[in-house]
Structure 1
Amino acid sequence: MDRKISVFDSTLRDGAQAEGISFSAEDKLKIVRALDAIGVEFIEAGNPFSNPKDLEFFQKVKDLRLENARLVAFGSTRRKDILPQDDDNLKSILLAGTEHIAIFGKCWDFHVTDIINTTLEENLRMISDTIGYLTERGKEVFFDAEHFFDGYKNNREYAMKALKAASDAGARSLVLCDTNGGCLPHEIAEMTRAVVEAFDVPVGIHCHNDSGCAVANTLAAVAEGASEIQGTFIGFGERCGNANLSTVIANLQQKMGYSAIPEESMERLTETARFIGETANISFDENMPYVGRNAFSHKGGMHIDAAMKNSRSFEHIEPSVIGNSRRFLMSEVSGRSTVIKNIQKIAPNISKDSEETRMIIKRLKELEHMGYQFEGAESSFELLIRKQLGKYKPFFDLVDFKIIGERGQEAGEHSAYAMVKINVEGTTKMSAAEGDGPVNALDKALRECLENFYPVLKKTSLTDYKVRVLDSRDATASKVRVLISTTDGVNEWTTIGVSKDIIGASLTALVDAIEIKLLRELELKIRNYM
């Protein structure tokens, strides 16, 4: 049986420290659901003391039913020279209400004496007191041994004393942190081996990528006995980022014989990585190992010829194993395996070699060339398939719309107005609405019109709106990609629009969001009738 490795994801905590990342509460909930669905065991959801938004999120997430994951609150040891019960950080952590807590403490004597300005003995008491205080209250505590490897290099005896203080106080695991990210794999391997041999407590590994070795360092630690891996799912984090868990998990499970997530979840690795990238509103690195679009791409000449004869000639694994697909950039036969599953959800009788599949892929390529990305916008892709298969019913026609933007006389006051005209089966309806910006006004006006014909839309609302500039070289004339997430209180779906006009892109996504809801309601009625 494969040796089990615990996966501890820190996207919502360490990842949130990356430049340009600002998760909303809804973003966090989406990511928690995605990580839970793929089988991640622990999700570090934030520091409730340092950020009031994180404490609020912990309260909201209590109502979320998780199948696989357990949430973890993050914080530091007690401050120097006070009791644990008097420490505001620990009070906030307990308010988060999680069974599992990650506590970081200093393992490098330099940091103890020169950064937090206390004695080496007091720092050991800070570690011991904090973990003891929490475990006495029924908490499972991960000890994040901050700067462990640098501390070990400079004062091995003290670094190991810090681990012993945590272990003796009841820590469930000792997580060795390459906090500055400067170690190399052979160093990580040697020091991890020493810790595994010295302690009976499970050992974890937490690597930053400042030397470009976070993934390699994590694998080296596991090879020497570490049984818990920490990182962020697609590697973003402070400075150069963290160990990329999508890469680490794939290597452990496909190359090294370990079990990190359920085997049946491996084929969702790529879709989960891309979903998290879209939710974080970052440009996805298409050269990322395993999950990037270019990870299994072949362009021109003998590479394509060889890969078509036998994919092993230029691919280290079969891409479908991790939910990715082979791409022949100069060929007509790329992409079929990426879409056939989605097609068969709508038309089970269609095969990957059918004419319908070829036409859908052709249209998909055309839209991707225009800037569309359907990862994270599956509902728009569903509509694309339906339109190509003739299984699409237009519920309304948008005859005309107009946007008016004004700046009020009061400083900082902005307002926008939208007017729309629609036609539903020969009946015309007009409506106007005021909103916080043109997209909000357009959404309100469109819904006001349509709710007269489709009352079910009263239950829907927008939960997220993201805009990405596709080519900044064109400045204000650049194309933009708009992603809109919508909910009816039970389900949530995301749609996409692309245009040089941000209103036009937003309108495309808004219309798709409404039509997918109406289409599903219609199909539900048909099934109930049958």
Structure 2
Amino acid sequence: MKSILISDPTLRDGNHAVAHQLSAKQIATYCEAADKAAVPIVEVGHGNGLGASSLQVGESKETDVVLLETAKAHLHTSKLGIHVIPGFATINRDLKRAIEIGVDVIRVASHCTEADITQRHLGYSREKGKETYGVLMMSHMASADLLVEEAQKMELYGAEGIIIMDSAGAYLPSDVTERISALVEGLSIPIGFHGHNNLGLGIANSIAAVEAGATMLDGTARGFGAGAGNAQLEVLIAVLAKMGYTTGIDLYKILDAADIAEREIMPLVPIIKSESIVSGLAGVFSGFSKHVTRISNEYKVDQRDVYFELGRRKVVAGQEDLIIEVVLDLVKRKKK
């Protein structure tokens, strides 16, 4: 049986869905449940990762220290993982402190064409003996060949595996197959996939990734995550088992963990709303959803127009300030 390594970012990607307001109590509750289910990696933090709490992308209810110390105290079998974007997270302030707290897995991420910025963070993580991966976000915005070039840089910098993120939920299974196949052929380290469900293809795309050679997958409880949410973890575990893959995760206990997550940490279970579909079609970062909704409503602009304009401008995570610019431009056009 082929083994698939599962990473669960319910407590990181899911933080987007609640404007980064997950509490220490909620972190503890879900960590206990995921640990009992033997989830290999539980990723915790602000939706945009370590050091990202800010007015621009949203302030966390809890500090990074509180989030990580709480998770560490309630994980005994599972490893504690973090998402690190250079620019948000510094080495001396953020990464060093996270390592002192005891994080086990560090995933250093960049926009899919900017792997150069990850060199120092990847090198530092490996130097400290941590399990270290490279992540290429918004990967639909690059060709398969370009993704391979960027991933090869991360491999050279010390990444022990590469995960591509469908951050906008924009992929079709054929897109995933093309990119994962190219990465498997072009690199000598494991390849992984992180799916979003804007077009209802989170599970299908994850399975396409595995069939193309990926050995790492992300999934969240009930799909709790940005926009329409992620590939639903408990469904993913069940489907992989039916296909003959092993994850080491206890099915009954991950089903229990999902029930607990729905009850304790989710105001609403993610669904595919109209704006989520448009976001996926436009290729816009799923984490923009709350910002787009709020600003569009304030200025009485059609959210769908905002998403398509953001997609046309190729706006990416960290450029949330451009949403207001796009909305105001649309208001001016409407008046003319």
Partners of 2:18 and 2:75 in 1: CA distance: 31
Task: Give the alignment of 1:271-310 within 5 angstroms.
Answer: 271-283=256-268
> C-alpha displacement at 1:61, in angstroms?
3.5
TM-score by length of 2: 0.71
Alignment match, 2:105: 100
SS in 1 for 2:21: coil
C-alpha change, 1:79 and 1:15, in structure 2 (3 Å) is closer
2:208 pairs with 193, 212, 220, which one?
220
Query: Distance between the aligned counterparts of 2:87 and 2:98, measured in 1?
Result: 11
How far residue 221 of structure 1 moved from its aligned partner, in angstroms, is 0.2
RCO comparison, higher one (Cα < 8 Å, 6+): 2
The 2-side partners of 1:65 and 1:182 are apart by 33
- Give the CA deviation at 1:176: 1.1
The aligned counterpart of 2:125 is 134
Match of 2:223 among 235, 238, 249: 235
Deviation at 1:150, TM superposition (A): 2.2
Whichever residue aligns with residue 63 of structure 2, its letter is K
- Cross-structure match for 1:318: none
Match of residue 251 from structure 2: 266
- Residue 157 of structure 1 and its aligned partner are, at CA, apart by 4.0
Q: Distance in 2 between matches of 1:284 and 1:48?
A: 25
- Distance apart, 1:58 and its partner CA: 1.4
| Secondary structure of 1:259's aligned partner | coil
CA contact 2:72–2:80 (8 Å) conserved in 1: no
Q: Out of 159, 168, 171, which is 1:183 matched to?
A: 171
CA distance 1:65–1:16, shift in 2 (3 Å)? closer
Kindly report which structure 2 residues correspond to 1:99-498, keeping only aligned pairs within 5 A, or say none. 99-108=104-113, 123-152=114-143, 156-254=144-242, 256-262=243-249, 265-283=250-268
* Secondary structure class of the residue paired with 2:222: coil
Look up the match of 1:24.
Answer: 23
Task: Find the aligned partners of 1:85 and 1:73 in 2 and give their Cα distance.
Answer: 13
**Which of the two has higher C-alpha Rg?**
1
The residue aligned with 1:57 is: 67
1:188-223 Cα deviation digits (max 9, x unpaired): 112111111111101110011122111110111011
Deviation at 1:60, TM superposition (A): 3.2
Cα deviation for residue 136 of structure 1 reads 1.1
Is this contact kept in 1: 2:50–2:85, CA < 8 A? no
Q: Partners in 2 of 1:178 and 1:60 — Cα distance?
A: 29
2: CA distance between counterparts of 1:243 and 1:188?
A: 14
Deviation, structure 1 residue 235: 0.3
Counterpart of 1:412 in structure 2 is: none
Measure, in 2, the Cα distance between the counterparts of 1:220 and 1:175.
14
What is the CA distance between 1:281 and its match in structure 2?
A: 4.0
Whichever structure has more strand as a proportion of its residues is 1
Structure 2: unaligned runs, 5 residues or longer? 54-61, 272-336
AA at the equivalent of 2:105 = H
| Cα 1:131/1:261, change in 2 over 3 Å | same
Give the Cα–Cα distance (whole angstroms) in 2 for the partners of residues 145 and 284 of structure 1.
Answer: 27
* Partner AA of 2:148 in structure 1: M
CA drift of 1:273 comes to 1.5
Q: How many aligned residue pairs are there? A: 260
Say whether the 8 Å CA contact 1:230–1:243 is kept in structure 2: yes
Q: Could you report, residue by residue, the CA deviation over 1:120-165 in whole angstroms, capped at 9, with x for unpaired residues?
A: xxx443222221122112121121111223212xxx4432221011
Q: Secondary structure at the residue paired with 1:62?
A: helix
Letter in 2 for 1:128: Q
Provide the C-alpha distance between the structure 1 equivalents of 2:105 and 2:253, rounded to a whole number of angstroms. Answer: 26
SS at match of 2:238: helix
Distance across 1 between alignment mates of 2:192 and 2:96: 26
- Partner residue, 2:81: 72
CA 1:142 to 1:285, structure 2 compared with 1: closer, same or farther past 3 Å? closer
Aligned partner of residue 26 in structure 1, secondary structure: helix
The amino acid that maps onto 1:73 is I
Q: Which structure: greater helix fraction?
A: 2
Name the SS for the 2:134 alignment partner. Answer: strand
- SS of aligned partner of 1:138: coil
Q: What displacement does 1:283 show?
A: 4.6
Alignment correspondent of 2:37: 38
Give the SS at the match of 1:103: strand
